[in-house]
């Protein structure tokens, strides 16, 4: 991260023990698909070391957790990770073997050909039935694997005016979400994600946070909104959305990534780290200044490491998230509140900027050493020998069909 000259450093108002406690509590979920070969609509660029089985994905996730100390769970994708015949409880045991646990369960309502005109929103009853069965099966997988989260993103929408009845599609989805919500155990949460466009380009059925909020409220108390930081139109004020959702007790979690244009799925903080900092600032303000319980917010990564080495990109993302979160914890909120009340705009903004430009690397290194972790997780991983080992094994397994090696 860029740091300001020493003259712009600031005094840390929280004690080191308080900051270490916050870092201990800050957990980030990595996605199984982030360890596999991914690409764009135009194709994939293969990597020799990319995972191709659920076991390999969990092994790689275990490495990220071992080096960072804050990634104990792994999001899984039902269609990609749970092939027919795969026992969900056994996958949970496999995860524990690698030092992690199964996290959010992600149904797939966009790849099957029957979803050409939508899934739960489709006018085709067979498509709706297929979607309903799949999500119910996914909820059962969550129960068997010990997961408490079912994360739902739908590609439903229409591409042309008049293609379908917009309100009828809304009513179909309301019914489906209610059914799925009621199938959860009492300690589970249904996360409802939104996206303004793609693959639907005329009317997306869950196009923004307001729609997701209404759907979740109608579904039931165990449904919350999931904010994907890439799923917004240009210039959207995401931290304002976050602040509102927390105040309404409707923020369930995040899919963190970064973007330059739209849903680019770039690594977090690679384009606009200040935006991520501002999101964390609103979360910490809600917790420290307004007394909101933010402990249940799920922090999850959702990125496509098309060109970066998979595990390195994940470690880079996680350590960046820790850094930006810690910076947000340093905001002098008493001084900020006083400046806001006095309508002193310059000093108010400076409260944020000074925290953002504080060099927190020494503090993070000390926290890691207190947890018996290497002070530089990325460098420690690079010298561990793991990448050389898996590259050779997986290259042979793939029959040398993969692309350039990242060993």
DSSP 117: T
Whether the per-residue pLDDT at 101 is higher than 80: the answer is yes
Instruction: Residue 253: count other Cβ atoms within 10 Å of its Cβ.
Output: 22
What pLDDT was estimated at residue 86? 79
Residue 12: what pLDDT? Answer: 56
Q: How far apart are CA 376 and CA 361, in angstroms?
A: 9
Indicate if the alpha-carbon torsion angle 293, 295, 296, 297 is positive or negative. Answer: positive
Asked if the model's pLDDT at residue 407 lies above 50, the reply is no
Q: What contacts 110, CB < 8 A, 6 or more positions away?
A: 119, 154, 155, 199
> Is the pLDDT assigned to residue 400 strictly greater than 70?
no
Mean pLDDT of the chain: 93
Strands of 217-376, DSSP E: 223-228, 251-256, 298-301
Distance, CA of 189 to CA of 367 (rounded, Å): 31
Residue 122 has pLDDT above 50, yes or no: yes
Q: How much is the pLDDT for 84?
A: 76
Which sequence spans correspond to the domains of the chain? 24-332+373-397
pTM of the model: 0.93
Distance (Å, rounded) from C-alpha 347 to C-alpha 351? 6
> Could you give the C-alpha distances from 24 to 18, 71, 242, 291, 370, in angstroms and in order?
10, 11, 22, 20, 11
Contacts of 123 (CB under 8 A, 6+ apart): 117, 164, 165, 168, 169
Lowest mean pLDDT among 42-46, 306-310, 349-353: 42-46
Strand 73-77 to 30-31 pairing: parallel
Mean pLDDT of 259-271: 95
CB 230 within 8 A of CB 203: no
Residues 6 or more apart whose Cβ sits within 8 Å of residue 25: 295
**What are φ and ψ of residue 140, in 5° steps?**
-65, -40
Give the CA angle between residues 83, 206, 254 to the nearest 5°.
65
Is the pLDDT reported for residue 19 higher than 70? yes
- Per-residue burial over 145-159, b if 16 or more Cβ lie within 10 Å, else e, is bbbbbbbbbbbbbbe
Task: Tabulate helix, strand, coil % of the chain (nearest 5).
Answer: 45, 15, 40
Mean pLDDT of 74-84: 90
Q: Which residues contact 39 (CB under 8 A, 6 or more apart)?
A: 45, 304, 306
User: d(Cα 21, Cα 14) in Å, to the nearest integer?
Assistant: 11
First CA to last CA distance, the chain:
26
Average pLDDT for residues 377-395, to the nearest whole number?
96
The pLDDT value given to residue 4: 40
> What is the C-alpha separation between 151 and 77, in angstroms, rounded?
10
pLDDT at 3: 42
**pLDDT tier at 9 (50, 70, 90 boundaries)?**
very low
Contacts of 176 (CB under 8 A, 6+ apart): 120, 128, 131, 132, 135
Can you list the positions of beta strands (E) in 326-368?
none
- 328 vs 105: CA distance, rounded Å: 29
Asked if 196 and 184 touch (Cβ cutoff 8 Å), the reply is no
Half-sphere exposure for 148 (CA within 13 Å, toward CB): 13
pLDDT at 166: 98
What's the rounded Cα separation, in Å, for the pair 232 and 262?
7
pLDDT of 402 higher than 60: no
CA pseudo-torsion sign 218, 221, 223, 229: positive
| pLDDT classification of 108: cutoffs 50, 70, 90 | very high
H/E stretch holding 152: strand 149-152
Cβ–Cβ under 8 Å, residues 31 and 254: no
Q: Is the pLDDT of residue 225 over 70?
A: yes
Categorize the per-residue pLDDT at 39 as very low, low, confident or very high, splitting at 50, 70 and 90.
confident
Q: May I ask the CATH class of domain 24-332+373-397?
A: alpha beta
């Amino acid at each position: 991260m860029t740091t300001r000259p020493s003259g712009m450093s600031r005094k840390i108002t929280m004690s080191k023990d308080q900051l270490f406690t916050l870092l201990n509590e800050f957990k980030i979920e990595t996605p199984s698909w982030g360890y596999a070969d991914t690409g764009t609509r135009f194709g994939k660029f293969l990597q020799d070391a990319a995972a191709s089985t659920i076991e390999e994905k969990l092994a790689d996730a275990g490495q990220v957790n071992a080096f960072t100390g804050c990634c104990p769970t792994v999001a899984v994708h039902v269609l990609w990770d749970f092939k027919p015949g795969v026992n969900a409880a056994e996958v949970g045991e496999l995860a524990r073997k690698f030092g992690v646990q199964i996290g959010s369960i992600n149904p797939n309502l966009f790849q099957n050909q029957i979803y050409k005109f939508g899934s739960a929103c489709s006018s085709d009853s067979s498509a709706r039935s297929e979607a309903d069965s799949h999500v119910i099966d996914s909820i059962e997988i969550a129960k068997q694997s010990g997961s408490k989260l079912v994360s739902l993103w739908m590609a439903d929408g229409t591409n042309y005016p008049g293609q379908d009845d917009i309100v009828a599609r809304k009513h179909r989805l309301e019914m489906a979400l209610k059914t799925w919500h009621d199938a959860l155990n009492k300690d589970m949460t249904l996360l409802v994600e939104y996206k303004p466009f793609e693959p639907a380009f005329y009317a997306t059925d869950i196009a923004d946070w307001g729609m997701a909020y209404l759907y979740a409220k109608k579904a039931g108390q165990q449904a919350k909104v999931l904010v994907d930081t890439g799923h917004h139109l240009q210039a959207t004020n995401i931290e304002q959305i976050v602040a509102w959702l927390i105040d309404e007790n409707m923020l369930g979690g995040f899919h963190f990534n970064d973007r330059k244009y739209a849903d680019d799925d770039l690594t977090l903080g690679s384009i606009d780290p200040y935006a991520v900092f501002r999101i964390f600032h609103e979360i910490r303000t809600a917790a420290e200044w307004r007394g909101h319980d933010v402990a249940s917010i799920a922090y999850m990564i959702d990125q496509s490491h098309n060109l970066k080495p998979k595990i390195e990109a994940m470690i880079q993302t996680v350590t960046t998230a820790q850094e930006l979160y810690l910076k947000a914890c340093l905001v002098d909120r008493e001084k900020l509140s006083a400046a806001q009340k006095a309508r002193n705009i310059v000093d108010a903004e400076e409260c944020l900027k000074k925290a953002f430009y504080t060099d927190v690397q020494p503090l993070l290194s000390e926290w890691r050493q207190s947890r018996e972790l290497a002070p530089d997780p990325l460098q420690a991983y690079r010298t561990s020998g793991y990448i050389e080992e898996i590259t050779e094994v997986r290259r042979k397994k793939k029959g040398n069909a993969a692309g350039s090696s990242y060993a």
